[in-house]
Amino acid sequence: MSTDDDTANASGGTNGSDDGDADGDSDSDSGGGHCSTPDSDGEVAETLGIVTFERKRETAEEIEAGLADRYDRIDLLEYHGGVFAEHWGEYDVFCGLMASGIAMRKTAPLLDDKWDDPAVVVVDEALTWAIPLTGGHHGANQVAEDLASLGAVPAMTTASEAAGKQGVEERAKALDAHVVNGDSTVATNLAVLDDELGPVARLDGPRAVLAGDDVTVLKRNGDPGKGVVLGTGSVSGATAEQFEAAWERALAEADAEWGDVEYVATGTRKEEEPGLLEAAEARGLGVVSFEKETLEAHEGPTPSRSKELIGWPGVSEASAIAGGRDHELVVEKIGHENSVTVAVGR
């Protein structure tokens, strides 16, 4: 799979007990890894049509208010038999406030191509379950996850999420990239499930590449330039404020600014750390997590207790080195309040 990074993965695991130190945690090893930004081909779902019966409008308005800051446009559409057909293609995602059977019967005849069709997710009036029906990797999972902030449980059935892993589409998002050849993701996502995909290869041009049908090509949405990567480790429960303060300090040491940051890098053990994800989202940064094997291949110079306790190299330096374009460590590990460690890579 071709893009601008090595072994980039996406968030999807869970954290257990408190870490041995701020650079790793003391749980047993976990497998694959993932990325934290949603949707499938590197373009975040930005428009949402909430289809609702009039009697459920109050709940629809609650959803609209709760998600207003996450989407460029949210419209409430009163349900009638042809509402989906009437607005098909107008929104990135439809959120049906209705039984799944209704949404399935009304949208099934409209489906054509998963890369072009709007995604569909349904949620019940009590906001108990958010169920992606179609286009899980194309926006439905994203909306389901956003509805979790209102109390709904995302019921995702896409294979990678069900297996606790994220597919290549999710990896693209964290790298601010998009999938060029969508048909290839069938093969590469199967490889993700089997832990056989291997590293995401970075190719700097000008280069010509001859690739087979089972190679997914990711293309940057913009010019990454010579930006920096914030390699980050933490104890469990570190706050968003602690992460941001640690990043600020590390950037100052690197004589860099927020605009220079390509993304945040960490280990698969920390990919679901709430404070990290909250801080990254607030700064508009993707979070790329690396598997243990990749971190071991890019281990930094500073000793870490996580190596002694659980056999993992120090996450902050190793992820900064692994994630940087030149695999160069610019700033060695800096600790903040015994909760967060940050290193800067390039």
Instruction: Tell me the mean pLDDT in the region 220-226.
Output: 69
Stated as kind and residue range, the H or E segment containing 38 is none
Q: Does the 2-34+222-345 domain belong in CATH 3.30.70.2190?
A: no
Q: Does the CA dihedral 244-257-291-13 come out positive or negative?
A: positive
Q: How much is the average pLDDT of 62-85? A: 96
Contacts 24+ apart (CB under 8 A), 125-131: 125/56, 125/59, 125/97, 127/59, 127/62, 127/63, 127/151, 127/152, 128/152, 128/153, 129/153, 129/155, 130/154, 130/155, 131/100, 131/155
Q: Which residue has the higher pLDDT, 255 or 28?
A: 255
For the segment 218-227, the average pLDDT, to the nearest whole number, is 74
Higher per-residue pLDDT: 41 or 189: 189
Residue found under tokens 């998002």: 173
Gyration radius of the chain over CA positions: 20
**267 contacts 29 by C-beta, under 8 angstroms:** no
DSSP 55: G
Name the 3-class secondary structure at 283: coil
Of 1, 3, 316, the residue nearest 175 (C-alpha): 3
More confident residue, 166 or 344: 344
Report the candidate in 202, 263, 197 with the shortest Cα–Cα distance to residue 227.
263
% of residues, the chain, pLDDT over 70: 84
CB 34 within 8 A of CB 9: yes
Helix, strand, coil percentages, rounded to 5, for the chain: 35, 25, 40
Provide the pLDDT for residue 115. Answer: 83
Q: Which CATH number fits domain 47-159: 3.90.1330.10, 3.40.50.11220, 3.40.50.150, 3.90.1150.10?
A: 3.40.50.11220
- Residue 291: which pLDDT band, with cuts at 50, 70 and 90? confident
Mean pLDDT of 153-175: 79
Asked if residues 32 and 9 have their Cβ atoms less than 8 Å apart, the reply is: yes
DSSP letters, 89-125, are TT-SEEEEES-HHHHHHHHGGG---TTTSPEEEEE-T
62 HSE (CA, 13 A, CB side): 15
Q: Which two tokens stand for residue 336?
A: 């903040």
Position 64 pLDDT exceeds 50: yes
Q: Do domains 2-34+222-345 and 47-159 have the same CATH topology?
A: no
pTM over 0.85: no
| DSSP code per residue over 189-214 | HHHHHTT---PPEE--SS------TT
Q: What are the tokens at 264?
A: 């945040």
Average confidence (pLDDT) over 280-297: 87
The confidence band for 199, taking pLDDT boundaries of 50, 70 and 90, is low
Q: Across the chain, what does the average pLDDT equal?
A: 83
Q: Return d(Cα 346, Cα 344) in angstroms, integer.
A: 7
Residue 14 clears pLDDT 50, i.e. is over it:
no
Note the pLDDT tens digit of each residue in 115-162. 889 999 999 999 999 999 999 888 999 999 999 999 999 998 887 777
Residue 40 has pLDDT above 50, yes or no: no
Do the Cβ atoms of 304 and 261 come closer than 8 Å? no
Distance CA 57, CA 294 (A): 49
Domain locations in the chain as residue ranges = 2-34+222-345, 47-159
